[in-house]
Amino acid sequence: MRPPRFWSEGGWPVALLAPLEPLTAWLTARRLARGGWRPPVPVICCGNATVGGAGKTTLALDLGARIAARGLRVGFVTRGYRGSLAGVVRVNATRHTAAEVGDEPLLLAAAAPTWRGADREVAMREAVAAGVQAIVADDGLQNPAFAHAARLLVVDGESGFGNLHLLPAGPLRERVADAASRCVAAVLIGEDRTGAALALPPALPVLRARLVPDAAARLLAGRRVVAFAGLARPDKFFSMLHDLGAELATTRSFADHHAFATAELEALAATAGDAVLATTPKDAARLAPAWRARVHVAGVGLAWEDGVALAGLLDGVLA
């Protein structure tokens, strides 16, 4: 789904749905009260207080690479979105499909061993049994399995915390203060356009980072591009390409995790003509191999404002 406009701009639907907010708060608190298993290895949970994309997977990949560079065998744990396979699955990036395990688990599995499933405790136990020395969890801030994890509150600078209301009146899964109280730091990705940092407790450390195009994305500078994306916020991808200097002939937005139909892709290819057909790594994970070969995949990474502070946080968590 795409977030409704009133989640950011307000309006009469907020007043209509606000009476349901206490139910959301109660359900979240009830879930968290269950507690969780304490793994014998460090666990970092990258989660957010809102629904929708905040950059959790990009952060998880960044942290995983940094942990691996320290000589530790890192593994990822994620629920994934949809996926036909039941239970906890160790994801094989070359054998599994997005229809089986979801798109984000495939991205993670291409970087390090990854376990996908709704039961995060079982996933962590399997990761530890496989010899993983540190775990990075993509999402799960409201999951009791991560009671003993070092939690990071991921904040998208562009959308922030929306209208600061809980579901369904707003995008929050829980109050910002409640989420922040369980976190060792917040990670603010991109320029803070909504003043989200002001909603955080003053004592909570805030690590700032910005999205930067990867080498494949930079190849599109000066080229004519037909771009498509099925993300929570596709405009972020299109803006990146524009800022790179790509000539955007056409852009096409789809819902997050959209399963691309052959007819949709053929129509995009016809529109492209001699232009480059481009999408994101997450979207490419949902393409059939034949189509993946025809599409330029342009991704992003993180550039940190204070790398020393980030290294210090990892030192503390991994000690």
For residue range 172-181, what is the model confidence (pLDDT) as tens digits? 999 999 999 9
Whole-number percent of the chain with pLDDT over 70: 100
How high is the pLDDT of residue 109?
Answer: 98
Q: What is the dihedral of CA 44, 50, 56, 59, to 10 degrees?
A: -70
Segment 212-229 shows an average pLDDT of 97
How high is the pLDDT of residue 83?
Answer: 86
CA distances from 310 to 62, 213, 290, 305 (A): 11, 20, 40, 9
Domain 6-211+304-318: state its class.
Answer: alpha beta
Is pLDDT at 128 greater than 80 in this prediction? yes
Is pLDDT at 242 greater than 90 in this prediction? yes
Segment 111-131 shows an average pLDDT of 97
For residue range 18-36, what is the model confidence (pLDDT) as tens digits? 999 999 999 999 999 988 8
Segment 149-154 shows an average pLDDT of 97
Query: Which residue's entry shows tokens 């803070």?
Result: 192
For residue range 159-207, what is the model confidence (pLDDT) as tens digits? 999 999 999 999 999 999 999 999 999 999 999 999 999 999 999 999 9
For residue range 83-99, what is the model confidence (pLDDT) as tens digits? 899 999 999 999 999 99
Is pLDDT at 124 greater than 80 in this prediction? yes
> Residue 102 — pLDDT band, cuts 50, 70, 90?
very high
For residue range 296-311, what is the model confidence (pLDDT) as tens digits? 999 999 999 999 999 9
Q: In 3-state terms, what secondary structure has residue 249?
A: strand
CA distances from 99 to 32, 89, 163, 229 (A): 30, 13, 33, 17
Mean confidence (pLDDT) of the chain:
95
CA-based torsion, 240, 243, 244, 245: positive or negative:
positive
How high is the pLDDT of residue 1?
Answer: 61
Please state, in angstroms and rounded to a whole number, the distance separating the CA atoms of residues 77 and 12. Answer: 39
For residue range 222-237, what is the model confidence (pLDDT) as tens digits? 999 999 999 888 999 9
Is pLDDT at 2 greater than 80 in this prediction? no
Is pLDDT at 315 greater than 90 in this prediction? yes
> Residue 272 — pLDDT band, cuts 50, 70, 90?
very high
Q: Are the beta carbons of 189 and 209 closer than 8 angstroms? A: yes
